[in-house]
Chain A
């Protein structure tokens, strides 16, 4: 391997060494070139625009450097409220997804392969349907004269229509539905990796099914759950369509705010500053999560 070290011990160790090394380097470059197009696209559509936004957020209407956009964010309460709402919605959506998704993933992981495939399809099918279609479908279901309200009143659960949409409730219902697969898929993957013998061993050693679950299965599924939750949380932070439609202007998240600023004030600087702060908040969340949990393959491809 290390050719330089063996100089004094004769020429035999250097036989073809240069050619072999050259071949190795050539192979590495060939492999690297496979990633070339992707790298190019990432630079073009991510790094350059983000860098441009970053630049814009420090420029005022006259093209001069300014901190005005960031100062405004601290000055006006509405910005702070937007961020609080964003984190609140993201956190609640993540929690709802965990509560619904964990038992679902557990159920899928316990099924024999043939059946889990069919049920997995049920999870994935909505995933392949347009986001906008699903969001408007919820609007139809949840609105004042929607199917759910009609049904509830018909069987006498409530008397007058209850407000299920154009508020936080509607937003959370819609977002949890859309985000669910992002939690279930990594969680299911983590659960599938748990050796069935682990549970056998736990019960053999004297753990009742409940204890075996909490002391062995749950800790082993935790990395998958953390990875799924992070994906959901981070996606929620920048989510636009569903809160805009189902929130009915009452649930203002950062993405909604950015659109509003652009449409009403055409202020690129302000909008960019919001985007930059959101990006930083996301990076901080990911960093902290990576510090506190040993995140595995599901998120960073580490094994």
Chain B
């Protein structure tokens, strides 16, 4: 067996970087993956984020070796694995459905990859116990899978995926079956576990909040192509295109016009204070609703873009409130603000005249698609 020599030596496994080049997979006429290039650093937590059918799971399955791409290269560090069968890739994976073996106990499930690697029964028992402790399930080793709750099954699946100390860990929407509270707790736990194991982790989700919470970097994927790869903050604050701006967070997009000196305008308001190059389809202003605020009195237009308008709709939603403000002809802005008494803006009433401000440092401009 190929991995036999590595046992024991992998006490603290070194994580591996993943290099993906030109990865292409077609289903009929449809490109599930369209020449994807992606470098994942060793020890990094990278999330593949995209809507359903975007190709994120196809990409993950290709890394695991469960589907055969039409073209491309996948290297774990320097080693080309594109032709390697899944059982030789030595990659841990947590499945959306957990895929725990129902005919085995919790301990047997976790011991499964160890036995296949010829780990001695004694060490096997010790490592299963250690893995169970790591996922806080000590003492449940003899349970049957059907005796566990969804959250517990999730932890067993996790333990089984890292117990053999793989140097790459893949997760396919592992938290999607859990309820909201448990999911949020598991997000933090997974993040801690990743820091503890130091293993290169590729995580698939369609939940943007989950991606923002957990990732070192996010790869936003759409129609089989990477739309943007960057840190959560950069993805949110500086979306590279309309898809990313729209998919992550709430946003209002306003078409901008460019004067001959390169400044961008929305109607007669100057939006940028530096000149920009012309874009083929022009530029759009992306406004995050929570970056808008109600201007009290006069604002310094050198620092703030001001929109005067009328409140159309005002909705209380618990931790935040939300208002629609009609500014120019046919244009409405979404405004989101906190509901603390200190914020003092919780009382926008339909029909009220307000000035809405956007700090110039919060201005996001993106080239328009068409």
Query: Which residues of A are at the interface with B, using a C-beta cutoff of 8 A?
Result: 195, 197-198, 200-209, 211-212, 215-216, 219-220
Contacts and interface: CB of A to CB of B under 8 A. Distances in A.
Query: Could you say which interface size class chain B belongs to?
Result: 20 to 34
6 contacts: A201-B100, A203-B65, A204-B87, A204-B89, A209-B87, A219-B103
A211 B101 CA distance: 14
A203 B86 contact: yes
Given A205-B113, A206-B116, A200 B95 contact: yes
Contacts of B116: 205-207, 211
Given A197-B97, A197-B99, A198-B99, 19 more contacts: A195-B97, A198-B101, A200-B66, A200-B99, A201-B99, A203-B66, A204-B86, A204-B89, A205-B87, A205-B116, A205-B160, A205-B164, A206-B87, A206-B113, A207-B112, A208-B87, A209-B87, A216-B101, A220-B103
B117 A206 contact: yes
A299 B93 CA distance: 35
Interface string B70-87: 000000000000000111
Contacts of A205: 87, 112-113, 116, 160, 164
A195 B95 CA distance: 11
B42 to A, nearest CB: 20
B232 interface: no
Contacts, number: 62
A212 B116 CA distance: 10
Contacts of A207: 87, 112, 116
Interface string B327-370: 00000000000000000000000000000000000000000000
Contacts of B139: none
B117 A204 contact: no
B3 A206 contact: yes
Contact of B95 (A197, A208, A209): A197
Given A205-B116, A206-B116, A211-B116, A200 B86 contact: yes
Interface in B33-71: 64-66
B239 interface: no
Contacts of A201: 93, 95, 99-101
A209 B66 CA distance: 12
A207 B92 CA distance: 13
Contacts of B160: 205
B242 to A, nearest CB: 35
A22 B3 CA distance: 68
B91 interface: yes
